[in-house]
């Protein structure tokens, strides 16, 4: 049983996911699925005809032995990487570029996908997983399909050590620390925070303060903001 699983699942050994998919018009075959502990999406290893091996996001429905490609004029198969302008309306896509040639930035987490709802001029209108509707250049690349979610996400943790394996460390409240360690610290017994507003360990306002960066060029392309 163990040997059968090891033939289809392998660890990525620190290999980075290829979000750019720059192997144009090279046929790649899915040779195995991969266990990637630091992302919540399922990944797979693809071997191209020239021997190059890449770690890619695995869309739903992709099986071992299936072929994937990147290019401009390709059939609409799950896992193929195409320009947005060549994809029909209503197509579910993931790993979408925000700027042409910059690599996939949108809809990369497990179970997520964006939907193409309109095309006009130089832009394609996408509905993102958050509910946001925005314009993206039609010369940006995207992968057909929906990202597969790890089944392990729905499984109970069972023990605290599982959180430690993925890098989540214990969190200590500020009110139980000493004043030298946190602005909320000090006092006898169950004391309140003792100031007008909760702050971070470094004194910045923690709750209610806007954290978004100043307005960017791409913000003007948002038609409907996320709820």
Q: Does 2 score more than 60 pLDDT?
A: no
| Residue 208 pLDDT > 70 | yes
> Closest by alpha carbon to 57, among 67, 46, 43?
43
Contact 125, 135 (CB under 8 A): yes
Please indicate, yes or no, if residue 163 is contained in any of the structural domains.
Answer: no
Q: Is residue 196 part of a domain?
A: no
What is the pLDDT averaged over residues 70-76?
Answer: 90
Helix, strand, or coil here: 211? Answer: coil
Q: For residue 212, is it within any domain?
A: no
Classify residue 160: in a domain, yes or no.
Answer: no
Residue 152 lies in a domain: no
Q: For residue range 112-131, what is the model confidence (pLDDT) as tens digits?
A: 999 999 999 999 999 999 99
Q: Is residue 84 part of a domain?
A: yes
Find the range with the poorest average confidence among 4-13, 35-44, 206-215: 4-13
Query: What is the model's pTM?
Result: 0.75
pLDDT digit string (tens) for 24-49?
A: 999 999 999 987 777 888 999 999 99
The bridge status of strand 43-48 relative to strand 53-57 is antiparallel
CATH number at residue 117: 2.30.30.30
Q: How many domains does the chain have?
A: 1
Phi, psi (rounded to 5 degrees) for 218: -70, -20
- 64 touches 8 (CB < 8 A): yes
Domain residue limits at 69: 2-144
Count of helices and strands (H, E) across the chain: 2, 14
- Is residue 115 in some structural domain? yes
Q: How many CB atoms sit inside 10 A of residue 146's CB?
A: 21
The predicted pLDDT at position 153 comes to 61
Residue 81 has pLDDT above 90, yes or no: yes
Cα angle: 125, vertex 129, 135; to 5 degrees? 20
Residue 216 pLDDT > 80: no
Residue 193 has pLDDT above 70, yes or no: yes
């Amino acid at each position: 049983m163990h040997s059968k699983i090891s033939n289809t699942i392998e660890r990525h050994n620190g290999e980075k996911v290829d979000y750019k998919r720059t192997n144009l018009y090279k046929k790649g075959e899915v040779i195995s699925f991969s266990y990637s502990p630091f992302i919540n999406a399922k990944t797979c290893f693809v071997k191209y005809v020239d021997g190059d091996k890449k770690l890619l996001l695995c869309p739903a429905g992709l099986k071992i032995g299936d072929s994937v490609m990147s290019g401009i004029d390709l059939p609409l198969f799950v896992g193929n990487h195409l320009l947005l302008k060549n994809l029909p309306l209503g197509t579910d896509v993931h790993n979408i570029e925000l700027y042409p040639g910059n690599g996939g930035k949108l809809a990369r987490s497990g179970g997520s996908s964006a939907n193409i709802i309109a095309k006009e001029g130089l832009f394609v209108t996408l509905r993102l997983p958050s509910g946001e509707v925005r314009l993206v250049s039609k010369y940006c690349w995207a992968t057909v399909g929906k990202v597969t979610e790890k089944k392990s996400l729905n499984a109970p943790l069972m023990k605290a050590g599982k959180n430690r394996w993925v890098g989540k460390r214990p969190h200590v409240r500020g009110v139980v620390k000493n004043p030298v360690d946190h602005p909320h610290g000090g006092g006898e017994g169950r004391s309140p925070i003792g100031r007008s507003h909760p702050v971070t360990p470094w004194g910045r306002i923690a709750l209610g303060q806007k954290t978004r960066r100043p307005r960017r060029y791409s913000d003007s392309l948002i038609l409907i903001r996320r709820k």
